[in-house]
Structure 1
Amino acid sequence: MDTEGSLAPETPAEAREEYGALAPAAKVAVREAARAMEFDREEYAERVTGEVVGTVRDALFASLLRVHVGTGEEFDAWLDDHPGYEPDVAGSENVERVVWHPVPFAGEGGVAVAATFHDEREAALGTLRRRAFGRVYREHLPASGDGEGDAGPERGGPEA
């Protein structure tokens, strides 16, 4: 079994704090992408909205979640060692590998969001992280496009 990623919030408040800390990185990523696409000030102001920056922040948060990768037996052993966690598994039971992300504050005593895979490790990691974000974290975080992430030209757009 191996582990990758850095975010493993223990509480909803910690998840919100980590999510909030990603706002500057999301703004920079969007601004640099717009610059690479040669958006002028007008196009930037028209196309880069708070929702766009929020979506990038969502993706950054999900992509940084700490994930365990192992065999089905290792996942079962992990669940045995963490009896309060409810497994939320997507995929087939007939494959050998599992990726999972435990969320201690979800459900009654924690949820282990998981996905099974055969060969496509990176695809499974992406699927799991999107599932964990959508199924657990989304309800505890500010909505994308709430205005927090607006990075128009007057706030550091491509020509600032």
Structure 2
Amino acid sequence: METEGTLSPETFEEAREVFEAVGPTAQQVVREAAKAMAFDREEYRERVTSDVIERARNVIFAERLLVTIGSRTEFETWRESHPAYDVERQGSDDVERIVWHPAPFAETVVAATFQNEPDAAVGTVRRQAFGQLYQPRFEDGSEPGDDSGAHSAGAGDE
């Protein structure tokens, strides 16, 4: 079993703080990319919108999420020690390897099985976790258990 990434927020507030903190990094990444593409001021103002910065921030946050890569047996052992967690799984039951990311504040784990492409599975789990567990809550500002906003499972860019 191995892990990749550094971000494993225990609470929604911790996740929100990290999400807000990566905003300046996203702006700098987009600014440098625009510079490399030789955008002049007018083109920069026209093409680099708040949506562009937001997408960069989403990717930076999602790519930091801690995921575990292991066998199906290791995942099942993890699940047994976290019985309250809902499981959102992608992939086939016929393969032995699996990647997962738990979100304690949502009592949900997002997982994807894979045969030969762990990097693709890692990317899938991070995008799915962000789109299902984090982004809807960031957008509506509600905390888990708060009825002030809906948490649609399919929201997000994937």
TM exceeding 0.5: yes
1:10-45 Cα deviation digits (max 9, x unpaired): 121111101000011100100000000000000000
Q: Tell me, which stretches of 5 or more residues in structure 2 are unaligned?
A: 141-158
Contact (CA 8 Å) 1:96, 1:116: kept in 2 or not? yes
Q: How far apart in 2 are the matches of 1:17 and 1:98?
A: 29
Greater than 2 Å deviation, 4+ residue runs:
none
1:70-124 Cα deviation digits (max 9, x unpaired): 0001000010111211211111010010000001111xxx111000000011111
State how 1:23-102 maps to structure 2 within 5 Å: 23-102=23-102
RMSD: 1.0
Aligned to 2:20: 20
Contact (CA 8 Å) 1:15, 1:140: kept in 2 or not? no
Aligned to 1:123: 120
Structure with bigger RCO (C-alpha 8 Å, 6+ apart): 1
Letter in 2 for 1:113: V
Q: How far apart in 1 are the matches of 2:133 and 2:70?
A: 22
Q: How far apart in 1 are the matches of 2:139 and 2:111?
A: 24
Contact (CA 8 Å) 1:68, 1:100: kept in 2 or not? yes
User: TM-score by structure 1 length?
Assistant: 0.85
1:128-156 Cα deviation digits (max 9, x unpaired): 1000001110112148xxxxxxxxxxxxx
Aligned to 1:133: 130
Identity of aligned residues (%): 52
